[in-house]
Amino acid sequence: MSKNAGARFVKSVIGIDTNARYAHQPQNLEERARAALGPAAAYTEEEPTVSEWLQELMPTKAGVLHYFQSLFPCIYWLQRYNIRWLLGDAVAGFTIGLVVVPQAMAYAVLAGLTPAYGLYTSFTGAVLYWVFGTSKDIVIGTTAVGSLLVGQVVNRVKENNDSMYDSQQIAHTLSLLCGIVLFFFGLLRLGWVVEFIPYIPISAFVTAASITIMSTQIPTALGIKGIKSQSPPYRVIIDTLKALPNARLDAAIGVSSIVLLFALRAFCSHMESRQPAHKRAWSFASSLRLTFTMLLFTLISFLVHGSGDINPQFRIVGHIERGMLYL
């Protein structure tokens, strides 16, 4: 059976009319078009065959090279890097470092890990992003919502497995699984999927996560122990109010630091409006309020406890190992 006969047989079985598009086309259309155009050369677009269509989809050497170059955008801008950019990046890195260091340690505690893991996460994310990323204005590193979700997974796995695995092992496995999923999302260029996610559910999720984080940190700020932070927020707040008589000296540190943070933010915002000429300076000072508060209460802790072996009067971070022992 020839190819044409086989094609006609398949079309008859399936019921496909390949000439349907020409059913309402006037006869001698091509000749009439040539006559209307006169001496101008007529162009007739031929339909591509399957082999031609597949050939267009096949990657070329230039296309493959361009794709791999797009995976490392730093190749393009490193050739134009200059001293002016370096000075700006140094100032930005120093400023962000002062904010990220205490914030990362707090997020690590929120995730149920040691503070050192917060430092690792805030450092490695920024180091890797400049190689693969394309945006100069983006937040890379630990977040409150991510730390909360990691903490919930860690606590749930430990409860269901009778503490067979420690928090670090669970966090490592979770990070590996998330990394594999995100790797294939990036490899397949599926970032456009995010554009179809409605804004309202995201806003509601972030708001709910903020309420949950706030409720879980109230017992810690007041130095109250025995509160199950995995419970619903309203349950945590009720249990915290019942246990207020058991508050420790941590309450003075926690409440005063929160008040100081809000006071510094309000003062800097007020000075920005009063002194527009120095708006950038006051905005810079406002961004360092977390660092200032951390340094102030670190000094207070040192004056209270001194150095050497101590019996802490309130909860402290404790010793952080040098280097990257957990990597």
| Look-up of token digits 């995010």 | 194
Clarify whether residues 222 and 296 are in a common domain.
no
Is residue 158 situated within a structural domain? no
Is residue 144 situated within a structural domain? no
User: pLDDT tens per residue, the chain (327 residues)?
Assistant: 455 665 666 666 666 666 666 666 666 766 776 666 666 565 666 777 777 777 777 878 887 888 887 888 888 888 888 888 888 888 888 877 877 888 888 888 888 888 888 888 888 877 888 888 777 777 777 787 888 888 888 888 888 877 788 888 888 899 899 989 988 888 887 878 878 888 888 888 888 888 888 888 888 788 788 777 777 888 888 888 888 888 877 788 888 888 999 999 999 999 888 888 888 888 888 888 888 888 888 888 888 877 655 677 777 777 777 766 666
Q: Count the domains in the chain.
A: 3
Per the document, the length of the chain is 327
SS3 (DSSP) at 185: helix
Is residue 84 situated within a structural domain? no
Is residue 99 situated within a structural domain? no
Asked if 260 and 293 count as a contact pair (C-beta separation under 8 A), the reply is: yes
Write out the residue range of the structural domain in which residue 236 sits: 197-247
Is residue 183 situated within a structural domain? no
* pTM for this prediction: 0.65
From 139, 168, 182, 104, select the one nearest 327 (Cα to Cα): 168
Is residue 91 situated within a structural domain? no
From 324, 297, 326, select the one nearest 113 (Cα to Cα): 326
Asked if 326 and 138 count as a contact pair (C-beta separation under 8 A), the reply is: no
